[in-house]
Structure 1
Amino acid sequence: MKQGHNKGSKHNQKVEEFRVNERIELLPYLLEVLSNRSRNSVKSMLTRGQVLVDNQIQTLHNLQLAPGQLVTIRKYKIVEKTEFKGITILHEDEDIIVINKESGLLSIASEKEKQLTAYRQLMNHVKHQNPKNRIYIVHRLDRDTSGVMMFAKNEKTKKKLQDNWKDTVNERKYVALVEGKVQKLEGTISSWLVEGKNHKVYSKQHAPDGKHAVTHYKVLQSNSKYSLLEVELETGRKNQIRVHMQDLGHSIVGDKKYGSKSNPIGRLGLHAQVLAFTHPTTKKSLKFMTEIPKVFFGTSK
């Protein structure tokens, strides 16, 4: 029955192949050709999608095999195709993935949430294509900030992007829904940001131990209660926009941590709308723009 047994590599993946030479059910056949494995181990391989018959994944224990059929056993666990929750892929190539992340989804794992993150979902996605694939964090968006975010697909690209972030990124725009009517239609906020022991970021006019942060803003529309701003980052510091809006005297709605007293939209009023950059490998200019959440407009009319 082990006629045609072939250990080796198929499409760069370790596999074992067996050619069937008599009618038999799949599980008994596997138990015979994999006599060095336990019954539970073989059943687990079936469940995980590691067994293919004529190049089709099969999980039925009693599947009837016929002479001449090819049984392939993959040496790795198959990762199920990802059903994305809270992310949409805008662009993917050999080096990068660009996504639109919804508010409420973590970029990467935290103490409390390790599974449902943008990072974990994208890792599953690339591993489905090839189990050796990985993704790498380049920058982050806060859990409750929505919008455009980029990941690298190899360490070389990650290093290129992080080492040359300021020169690579040509445009990074957000929209912020803030409390109150912003009187000055456009302006710039500049300060030094220092992170405290409680992970809250503080803004200071001069701080040798702080990081210089510069934020430009422009009013898109406003009423007596709320203003919608276009915000452009000159620097990319942790919580920069949130802290600088508090400095301006107009905290982002839903941002209790930085002074907000209202939340008419049921989420943080911050959205990463535009990310434009030079591709680290092809050197082409790419620009990704997402829609401003409609609830932002409705509140600030």
Structure 2
Amino acid sequence: MNSKRYKEQDEVMEWDIQEGDVGERIDKWLTDMLDEQSVSRTAVQDWVKRGLAQVNGSSVKPNYKLATSDRVELKLPEPEAAEIQAEAIALDIVYEDSDVIIVNKPRGMVVHPAPGHMTGTLVNALMHHCRDLSGINGLLRPGIVHRIDKDTTGLLMAAKNDLAHHSLAEQLKEHSVTRKYVALIHGDLPHDNGTINAPIGRDPHDRKMFTVTDRGAKEAVTHFAVLERLAGYTLVELQLETGRTHQIRVHMKYIGHPLAGDPVYGRSKTVVLDGQALHAGVLGFTHPRSGERLEFRADMPQDMKHVLESLRKS
């Protein structure tokens, strides 16, 4: 497997460039690498021009093309003040105390502000509701420990202070957080249960998508169990062992059973649903202060229920 090395020391990020990255412009490549932080290409170009991003210890231009064995170093600038509006958006709160808050996120809601989505996000709603969120993830993602996609519904936890954030993040890293999803997939899954262990990385043909690959990929493990077999579809429970971007959607496409309604990784002929049929139904973790093991459940949304009812009648 092609392993891209990454580390962070004193706010400096470092990468060793591998074969699959050779020939890419550094500004575009860095923008892709920082996708999780929602950094624009314009901002990256400015950092490169200021010498914050260097190759082999020297400054380069934004159009510099990466070469084999290059080492890219990026010194992250101090975050600029960002005015995030607290918005009175209704939240389906499953649990809340002085350390954590668990919400049942609706379909169509973006988790945190990013270019193009500065309002109407879960963070905007949380800031209005509780105002005391951890600051570890920066100005645009206060309290956010993990994410689920815009059109995925279900349970998501946020930290209300740094102690809680550190604890929950460490549990995610150690794979001790229970995350179970229910999904409707295309086709008749031949096995009642099993495990998909296939590394996920960026699609070399479309850097905004992810795929199973050996190039620059990270370990990804998804466990599945059949809940119900329907005409042309299967209802499954999926448990994440790792938490890669679009992991479930990519893994189900990889085994030939993409999610129903998925506009990116799915099929053109599918169920009538405004997004993928994927719901985060179970979330369990150890409470960061009390040490108590907690587990929460949320029923699937009405639109998924209606699709299932229709399939059962067909």
> TM-score if structure 2 supplies the norm length?
0.63
Residue correspondence of structure 1 range 54-73 to structure 2 within 5 A? none
Please state whether the residue corresponding to 2:289 is helix, strand or coil.
Answer: coil
**Residue in 2 aligned with 1:247?**
254
Residue correspondence of structure 1 range 174-193 to structure 2 within 5 A? 174-193=181-200
How far the C-alpha of 1:170 sits from its partner, in A, is 4.1
How far apart are the structure 1 equivalents of 2:259 and 2:295?
26
1:91 to 92, 95, 107: 95
Instruction: Identify the structure with the greater strand proportion.
Output: 1
How far apart are the structure 2 equivalents of 1:101 and 1:198?
27
2:119 to 112, 115, 118: 115
How far the C-alpha of 1:110 sits from its partner, in A, is 2.6
**Residue in 1 aligned with 2:104?**
100
**Residue in 2 aligned with 1:277?**
285
Q: Kindly tell me: are residues 168 and 242 of structure 1, through their superposed partners in 2, closer, same or farther at Cα, counting changes over 3 Å?
A: closer
How far apart are the structure 2 equivalents of 1:118 and 1:152?
13
Residue correspondence of structure 1 range 7-156 to structure 2 within 5 A? 83-85=88-90, 87-127=91-131, 135-156=142-163
Render the CA deviation track for 1:19-51: whole Å, top value 9, x for unaligned: xxxxxxxxxxxxxxxxxxxxxxxxxxxxxxxxx
How far apart are the structure 2 equivalents of 1:281 and 1:269?
35
Tell which deviates more after alignment, 217-226 or 269-278: 217-226
Q: Kindly tell me: are residues 269 and 81 of structure 1, through their superposed partners in 2, closer, same or farther at Cα, counting changes over 3 Å?
A: same
How far apart are the structure 2 equivalents of 1:246 and 1:84?
34
How far apart are the structure 2 equivalents of 1:237 and 1:299?
32
Tell me if structure 1 keeps the 8 A contact 2:86–2:127: no
Render the CA deviation track for 1:208-231: whole Å, top value 9, x for unaligned: x21100111111112232111100
Structure 1 residue 266 and structure 2 residue 274: aligned? yes
Runs (4+) off by over 3 Å: 80-83, 166-170
Residue ranges of structure 1 left out of the alignment (5+ in a row): 1-79
Render the CA deviation track for 1:177-206: whole Å, top value 9, x for unaligned: 1112212221211111112463211102x4
Among the aligned pairs, what percent are the same residue? 36
Q: Kindly tell me: are residues 299 and 182 of structure 1, through their superposed partners in 2, closer, same or farther at Cα, counting changes over 3 Å?
A: farther
> TM-score if structure 1 supplies the norm length?
0.66
Q: Residue 222 of structure 1 aligns to which amino acid in structure 2? A: R
Tell me if structure 2 keeps the 8 A contact 1:168–1:279: no
Q: Kindly tell me: are residues 300 and 227 of structure 1, through their superposed partners in 2, closer, same or farther at Cα, counting changes over 3 Å?
A: farther
Structure 1 residue 215 and structure 2 residue 219: aligned? no
Looking at CA atoms only, which structure, 1 or 2, has the larger radius of gyration?
Answer: 1
Q: Kindly tell me: are residues 300 and 221 of structure 1, through their superposed partners in 2, closer, same or farther at Cα, counting changes over 3 Å?
A: farther
**Residue in 2 aligned with 1:195?**
202
How far apart are the structure 1 equivalents of 2:291 and 2:300?
28
How far apart are the structure 2 equivalents of 1:128 and 1:144?
26
Please state whether the residue corresponding to 2:189 is helix, strand or coil.
Answer: coil
Aligned residues: 216
**Residue in 1 aligned with 2:308?**
297
How far apart are the structure 1 equivalents of 2:120 and 2:263?
24
Q: Residue 94 of structure 1 aligns to which amino acid in structure 2? A: S
